[in-house]
A and B are shown apart, each in its own frame.
Chain A
Amino acid sequence: MNDARTPVVVTGVIGSDTHIVGNRILSMALEQAGYKVVTLGALTPAAEFIKAAIETNADAILVSSLYGQGELDCRGFRDLCVEAGLDGILLYVGGNLVVGKQAWPDVEKRFLDMGFDRAASPGTRTETVLAWLAADLAERKREGCVRR
């Protein structure tokens, strides 16, 4: 792997969800932090994230969902990645992921079980996501399992 390569992340709002603001703030923060950001915007089907990640050789996919249907929309996301040959790609999900008041640890566990590497609860700061990403990418590099 070329150490000088700028890491690429794909962002977007999954499913029939038009809430773009949080995702856009996150994308701007990622850009400022030096990442190359591929922004898919609102109303993005799961398959589009994967197609974009293949062409751009992305290191991570950051999925937003704000309208409560995230659990349905994200089901099988990791499987789609594996199917497309993106075995080692980092997957984060964040937002108002479920309907109603549910305990966050339960929600987080559900999404981690689905194959996401990190799940961000409502109100998570962009700094937190940047710190996760830096740590996770560094760890992948150490393990030598970054796809390249």
Chain B
Amino acid sequence: MTTAALLIDFGSTYTKLRAIDLDRRRILGSGQGPSTVTTDIMIGMKAGLDDLERRLGGLPRFKYRLASSSAAGGLRMVTVGLVRELTAEAARRAALGAGAKLVGAFAYRLTASDVDRIVSLAPDILLLAGGTDGGNSDVIVHNAQVLGRSALACAIVLAGNRNAADDARAALAGRQVLATDNVMPEFNVLHIEPARAAIRQVFIDRIVHAKGIDRAQAEFDRVLMPTPAAVLEGARLLADGCDGIAGLGALLVIDPGGATTDVHSVAHGEPSAPGVIVQGLPEPRVARTVEGDLGMRHNAANIVELVGVGAIAAEAGLDAASVAALVAEISADFDRLPRTAGEIALDRALVCAAVKHAVIRHCGTVDTVHTVTGPVAVQHGKDLSEVNAVIGTGGALVHNPDPRSVLEMALADPAMPRSLRPKAPKLLLDRHYLLYACGLLGTVEPQAALEIALANLDAIERKPSIERAVIA
């Protein structure tokens, strides 16, 4: 009898299931049902299980049944910090790293209209930061007071100046408050893991229930994390490896979706060249960025606006008028899959542009500053030029007829020498949508999770390098 695991993703469009054979380290099969969290989550879950059963000819007994969720709007979060580039940015990174959908990010003293805006955003969790330990406490206490007097009902994770924590907590009396370590205990020191863990705890304890996901509890053991966090955990395991199994090393994951494009990196991001000075807030080794304006459907018009209709038309081999007409159609029809040759070409052009710009924003830059002692190279953000692998995941990439050309958009471009994008990584495609499953399974059986993920990522050959082409 096989030992099997069931990994479930309660998505916003589909309920996706992956069944894994833990003994033989292979995928047993997958199943899919609609997302029914807004009505009764069990309908989609049952449909997915039926689908899986049909494909397998019967269901095994599952040793683990673990779930992630991005249903019901995902984990909606608002962050509040003090200085925009410091504690407010640290709070933002903690929320993104916890897999949240960031719906608002605020800095400095909250005004009455800020508070109204936060209440109307109706987040699931608010992350309140501000001040280094022993630093500014006025602002976080003020913000706690105005939030404490507001109609805001959500859970609050408190991760600011520890010397202000008691006063802030008192101002929030009667709310669900989870206090944790400061996201920036010292100036320019990023310390976001405790806040990430606290957010995940609130997600498991409260949000899963509040969103009605626990009504399917008979069919699974635990909802562990938001789906983006599961993808990030999968990426971390793939990069770092585990006992006895080497990982891929530093890597980048690209996930272009309908509404946003997510980029994850697991890499320290320190300068690859000697003598480079790093400036700005230190970057987390395990990092996630979300580009809210780069989505294949909801934001198709934004992508066209960003790169220009001419560039999209040229890339797709269409004329500008048909691009405009098609974009209007797909923007109004989120679930639409491309059918005609023109639609497929447009989708490819859109996903190429989304990947290129999302990776440019995720990766750091290097600039030359001229000082009296000569030029100095200054880096902002992460240097990802030396990562070993770039992994593509998500439907827009997996169903693309030419995933190589899309993944290549993530690579360094000699025309943009300031951008520290990967130079010569392996290109891998998550064809079976396993990264989330790897992240979930990794919490209980990391070795099996890693082996299965490594065996099921498809290597995509890169084009021969330009240098070689020139020599030939």
Contact = CB atoms under 8 A, between A and B. Distances in A.
Interface in A1-26: 5-6, 8, 16-18
Contact of B137 (A16, A52, A57, A68): A57
Contact of B136 (A17, A56, A68): A56
Interface stretch (A36-44, A100-108, A119-127, A131-139): A36-44
B330 to A, nearest CB: 42
Contacts of A68: 372
Interface string B129-143: 011101111000000
Contacts of A16: 369-372
A17 B82 CA distance: 28
Contacts of A51: 83, 85-86
Nearest to A42: B277
A113 interface: no
A130 to B, nearest CB: 21
A27 to B, nearest CB: 13
B135 A18 contact: no
A56 B133 CA distance: 8
B120 interface: no
Given A38-B187, A43-B279, A55 B132 contact: yes
A2 B222 CA distance: 47
A113 B290 CA distance: 46
B376 interface: yes
Given A43-B279, A68-B372, A54 B187 contact: no
A56 B132 contact: yes
A22 to B, nearest CB: 15
Contacts of B184: 55
B371 A67 contact: yes
A16 to B, nearest CB: 5
Interface residues of B, number: 25
B378 interface: yes
Contacts of A69: 372
Contact of B135 (A17, A43, A57, A67): A57
A54 B376 contact: no
Contacts of B370: 16
B378 A52 contact: no
Interface in B136-155: 136-137
B371 A36 contact: no
A57 B161 CA distance: 11
Interface in B80-117: 82-83, 85-87
A42 B370 CA distance: 13
Interface of chain B, helix or strand or loop or mixed? Answer: loop
A12 to B, nearest CB: 11
Given A54-B82, A55-B131, A18 B136 contact: no
A95 to B, nearest CB: 13
B373 interface: yes
B372 A67 contact: yes
B373 A55 contact: no
Contacts of B134: 5-6, 8, 36, 56-57
A120 B61 CA distance: 77
A43 B82 contact: no
Contacts of A43: 277, 279, 369, 371, 376, 378
A51 B81 CA distance: 12
Nearest to B370: A16
A66 B373 CA distance: 11
B91 to A, nearest CB: 12
Contacts of A55: 82-83, 86-87, 130-132, 135-136, 184, 187
Contacts of A42: 277
A139 B327 CA distance: 66
A54 B139 CA distance: 10
Contacts of B187: 38, 52, 55-56
B369 A54 contact: no
A75 B352 CA distance: 45
Interface in B34-50: none
Contacts of B376: 18, 43
Contacts of B132: 55-56
A67 B374 CA distance: 12
Nearest to B88: A55
16 contacts: A8-B134, A16-B370, A17-B372, A18-B376, A38-B187, A42-B277, A43-B279, A43-B378, A52-B187, A52-B188, A55-B83, A55-B131, A55-B135, A55-B184, A56-B135, A68-B372
